[in-house]
Amino acid sequence: MTLLGLGAAAVAWCAFVAALFVGSMVAPGARREGRSGPDGRRAYRLNGLALFALTGLVVGAAMALGLWSPAVIVRHFAALLVVANVFALVVSAVLYARAPGAPPGGLGATARAFFSGRAHDPAWAGVSLKVFSYRPSLIGLGLVNVGFAAAQYERHGVVAAPMAVYVALSLAYIANYFLFEHGMLFTWDLIEERFGWGLVWGDYVFVPFFYSLPGWYLLDRIATPSPAAAAGVVALWALGFWLFRGANGQKHRFKLDPRTRIWGRPAEALGDRLLVSGFWGVARKLNYTGELLMYVAWTLPCGFASPVPYLPVFWLALFFPHRARRDERRCREKYGPLWDAYCARVPFRMIPFVY
């Protein structure tokens, strides 16, 4: 990694984020109202899908014309990783300094406020930074993954089946996020959390550079899996997708209209507030289970020779239960005895009869 390489990576990274930011300001997209949070109720322009599609078109055209290959990302991975970390630090520092109100005193309180953030939902030029940051994060992850496929093609003259399956499934997951981008407005990340270094680093560094670990691993592995193994991977991914998208979709529809129908019957809710129909009557966090299964599915093409490509799966297997416990603490405070009644009626979190 040379100084020149770092400089080029910095220019490319800033151009990528800036292009998406300008795109977020001007690209067409539905305006949707979010839930009321500490900053009140806000409307958001949801154009992530347009930006994802546009990025795909631009990259596809550049590749077809021989002008640019995403394999460059893999060659400059280390420099981009350094740049993304510096970027996350700088953005967090600016957010910290520009947040309204007086900063906390004392080193410990300052460090905590820097990590957790001081502003809830800061906006620049009318663009919510929280909603925006998922765009470079996930479009970045998609580009890195496509970069691994392109790099494999350059090295071996082929995109092998394990890589193709991994990249296709991860791109489908990203496309689904943007199709369902309005669901983001109802997550407690957006409503409750403040926007500090923890979330910023997660968006700009952790997601694109860590979640793409299976792509690294598959770069030089060009063995062909059996059709049965490939079908098993796709089936597991589809099961995860059904749980993840199904559970999130049911809750979302219920929040918008408590009289919505779920699995063909009117939604049932405790105290008219906590859904106990559909997936939410089977376990309390099947959306987390579904997402975890999707990560497992697209990592399986890596085989079992090394635990390294499974690190994102191991991380999520620890992260989701921890997040579920945090969320439940919050729900118990918000719903009181109603939450306890829900837990009594639906006793399992992520795996019925197990956990």
Binding site for ligand NDP (CB under 6 A): 187-188, 244, 248, 251, 274-275, 280, 285, 287-288, 291, 323, 327, 330-331, 334
Q: How far is the CB of 89 from ligand NDP (least distance, A)?
A: 21
Taking the CA atoms of the chain, what radius of gyration do you get in angstroms? 21
Q: How long a stretch of residues is the chain?
A: 355
For 287, the enclosing helix (H) or strand (E) is helix 286-299
User: Residue 188 to residues 27, 297, 341: CA-CA distances in angstroms?
Assistant: 26, 27, 22
State in angstroms the smallest separation of the CB of 168 from ligand NDP: 18
Query: Considering beta carbons, is residue 85 or 187 the nearer one to ligand NDP?
Result: 187
Question: Between residues 98 and 334, which has the closer beta carbon with respect to ligand NDP?
Answer: 334
Residue 156 or residue 323: which is nearer to ligand NDP going by CB?
A: 323
Is residue 243 within 8 Å of 293, Cβ to Cβ? yes
Distance linking the first and last C-alpha atoms of the chain: 46
From the list 22, 29, 26, the residue with the least C-alpha distance to 48 is: 29
Q: Tell me the closest approach of the beta carbon of residue 242 to ligand NDP, in angstroms.
A: 13
When the beta carbons of 98 and 255 are compared against ligand NDP, the nearer one is 255
Helix or strand (DSSP H, E) at 166: helix 161-179
Half-sphere exposure of 221 (CA within 13 A, CB side): 20
Angle formed by the axes of helices 311-335 and 286-299, nearest 10° = 170
Amino acid at 117: G
The residue among 145 and 287 lying less far from ligand NDP, judged by its C-beta, is: 287
Q: How far is the CB of 244 from ligand NDP (least distance, A)?
A: 6
- Least Cβ distance, residue 345 to ligand NDP (angstroms): 10
Q: Name the residue nearer to ligand NDP (CB basis): 75 or 273.
A: 273
Q: Are 222 and 266 in contact (CB under 8 A)?
A: no
Q: In angstroms, what is the minimal distance from the CB of 254 to ligand NDP?
A: 6
